[in-house]
Amino acid sequence: MMISEILKNRFPKIVIATHQYRGDDTVILKKEGLFEMARALKEDPELDFNFLMDLTCVDYLKFDQVPASAPTTFTPSPLPFYMKPKKDPKGEKWERPEEARTRFEVAYHFYSHSKHHRLRLKVPVEEKGAEVDSLVSLWKGADWFEREVWDMFGIRFKGHPNLKRILMYEPFEGHPLRKDYPVNKRQPLIGPIN
Amino acid sequence: MEKLAEEIQRTGKAETRTLLLNVGPSHPAMHGVIRIVVELDGETVTGADAEIGYLHRGFEKMCEVGPYNNAIPYTDRLNYVSPLINNVGYCMAVEKLLGIETTERCDYIRVIMSEISRITDHLTCIGASAMELGAFTVFLYMIKAREFLWELVEAVTGARLTISYSRVGGVKADLPEGFKEKVAPTFKEVRSILKEVDKLLTRNRIFVDRMKGVGVISKEDAVSYGITGPFLRATGVDYDVRRSQPYLVYDQFDFDIPIAEGGDNLDRYLVRMEEMEQSMRIVEQAFSKIPGGAVMVDERGNEIPADFMVDEAKMGRTAGFKQKTVRMDPTLEGTSGDRHPLINAPEKKIVLPPKEDTYGNIEGLMDHFKLVMVGHGIRPPKGEAYQAVEGANGELGFYVVSNGSDRPYRVRVRPPCFPIMNALPALLIGGMMADIVPTFGSVNMIAGELDR
């Protein structure tokens, strides 16, 4: 049984949807239940996710504005006779459920060293009052990852001990990885003038 | 001064204060630009904070601007000491998103090049940290060994550092003729250098005293910080992506994951030394297992030189060409069309055709343009994929999101140094000021991937 299904049965109220796509197991959940779920992932010996591998965010503002002029590559070409498929792609479906189509999605990647499995957790966050629970109290590594998400996307983490910019400098205006931040925008250089 | 002496006379003690000291961002012992602010009580570090971002180039933002293949040169510049692993990691993430298979020979080539890259990374790390402790000879020896390995890299990719070798669906060129024969003496040389360095350092009283028991991190803390790679294995956790979740063809090889128990600087040094030997073992096994396959032999009479063909085509004299096999002057050995099906996925919607086809026939030209035109190119369906590879410093993860267009919607790289740098203040506090240098050296921070 996939981990996402176990979690769906255990937390029916907070899980919005689950899917497996390209071998990645994903759970989409409400942001209210994030901390509860994360603690269960860490402390339950059945799941035992001891690593928080990655924490990032995706801005879905322009996701549906596809500029491609040609149709998308949906199916790969058939393999030649001397190659065997390494994995079976059947039954894969990737979708963003209607109730989870918010502007931001914070994505967590967990790994369990004892069980050798991975899980992706996605938390939809609205633009207004963008805030999710901080996981610093569970994984120390969340500290800098969350600071980076705040720096790049402007999402606040409730309970973070030291939420300040990490890659950009303090007087920097805006959050550069947001889709409405122009790629060629320049900001004045700071620092003492020599 | 007199006042101070008076006060000491009167009260019997002097007021003491801690000292705030900036180490970096431009400091001889800081490889790369990073600023560590330390609070010192005498020579003891009582507080530390690492400030990063001085080399932030907006890698993730730039990836969103161009087509999928345009991000490959940027990935070279993430970890510029082992660029091949970054290349492979990004391409594998896009391939996972597309759901395509690479050929077996391509997988083996990627393994060979990744492992050579891993050795160069460890050589740099150990050489640089030994130099900072005064062992300059070791640094020169290690750089010499790295030079030999870079010659191998140059023979395959045509460049030493910014190699851009991997492609989505394959690699740029096959291994050159006689590469296997070149590797054997190089490894012999590298092994003898490593043996010499081992003699110079491992039982060296000065080196061991500086490294042992310094920068200690416990197993639980390391896992909680999300630290991976040699840094984690030095604490006793045997996590290695190559073994835990084998990718490419790593499950085909017999190799050990060296671990240590102490979690201090000396353990990290020992783990890295052993890993280089294991990487060489993997490369040697890969050469014995790499599948070949028949490479078509060109008929001498049918070859025409590339420049002649291009000149003729400009004047429209292409009528006679269809009967002839065009042989391009390859910029690299192993880029020719007959090698192409061995090293690239059989997927015309993703992999650029060999240059002979592009210049020699209309189908190849069409395939080429369908891949390089704006709005065409590689267009994975909507979705996302996370692919982890074992970088030289730990798990290097690429998380790619596609919205169905020819540009990645979001590329996220999980840099292996990032969690280690997060833990660095905890490693420094309580130690001596002079211990910052070996501890920071053992992190092997690469500013390119830390700041992106």
Question: What ipTM did this prediction achieve?
Answer: 0.88
Provide the shortest C-alpha distance from residue A110 to chain B (in Å): 10
CB-CB under 8 Å, A22 with B422:
no
CB-CB under 8 Å, B418 with A144:
yes
Buried b (16+ CB within 10 A) or exposed e, B115-152: bbbbbbbbbbbbbbbbbbbebeebbebbbebbebbbeb
Question: Whole-angstrom Cα distance, residue A168 to residue A160?
Answer: 18
Q: Chain B interface, mutation test: which of A119, A140, A160, most B Cβ atoms within 10 Å?
A: A140
Q: Which two tokens stand for residue A63?
A: 């996701």
Find the residue in B nearest to A84 (Cα).
B101
- Calculate the average pLDDT of chain B: 83
Say which DSSP state A47 is in: T
Find the residue in A nearest to B415 (Cα).
A54
Place of tokens 């290097």: B396
Give the pLDDT confidence score for residue A99 in this predicted structure: 81
Place of tokens 């996710």: A49
pLDDT of B127 strictly over 80:
yes
Give the pLDDT confidence score for residue B321 in this predicted structure: 58
Strands A51-59 and A104-112: antiparallel
pLDDT of B295 strictly over 50:
no
**Which residues, at least 6 apart from B341, have a Cβ–Cβ distance to it below 8 Å?**
B103
Residues in A closer than 8 angstroms to B56, CB to CB, are: 167-168
CB-CB under 8 Å, B64 with A56:
no
Give the pLDDT confidence score for residue A186 in this predicted structure: 85
B90: left (phi over 0), alpha (psi -120 to 50) or beta: alpha
Given CB atoms, is B98 within the 8 Å cutoff of chain A? yes
**Is the backbone peptide bond immediately before B25 cis, with ω within 30 degrees of 0?**
yes
Q: Chain A interface, mutation test: which of B98, B405, B449, most A Cβ atoms within 10 Å?
A: B405
What tens digit of pLDDT does each residue of B215-271 get?
A: 888 888 889 998 998 989 989 888 888 888 888 888 888 888 898 888 888 889 999
Contact A100, A124 (CB under 8 A): yes
Three-class DSSP category at A24: strand
pLDDT of A13 strictly over 80:
yes
Quickly state the pLDDT bin for B300 (edges 50, 70, 90).
very low
CB-CB under 8 Å, A144 with B224:
no
Phi, psi of B410 (to 5 degrees): -155, 135
Residues B354-360, mean pLDDT to the nearest whole number: 77
Does residue B22 or residue B299 have the better pLDDT? B22
Residues in A closer than 8 angstroms to B388, CB to CB, are: 53
What tens digit of pLDDT does each residue of A33-62 get?
A: 888 888 888 888 888 888 888 999 999 888
Buried b (16+ CB within 10 A) or exposed e, A2-11: ebbeebbeeb
CB-CB under 8 Å, A58 with B410:
yes
Given CB atoms, is A169 within the 8 Å cutoff of chain B? yes
Question: Whole-angstrom Cα distance, residue A11 to residue A33?
Answer: 9
Given CB atoms, is B423 within the 8 Å cutoff of chain A? yes
Place of tokens 């980076």: A148
Provide the shortest C-alpha distance from residue B205 to chain A (in Å): 35
Given CB atoms, is A140 within the 8 Å cutoff of chain B? yes
Residues in A closer than 8 angstroms to B240, CB to CB, are: none
- Helix (H) or strand (E) segment spanning residue A57: strand A51-59
What tens digit of pLDDT does each residue of A123-141 get?
A: 998 888 888 888 888 888 8
Provide the shortest C-alpha distance from residue A32 to chain B (in Å): 23
Render B11-68 in DSSP notation, one character per residue: HS------EEEEE-SS-TT-SSS-EEEEEEETTEEEEEEEE--TT---HHHHHTTS-G
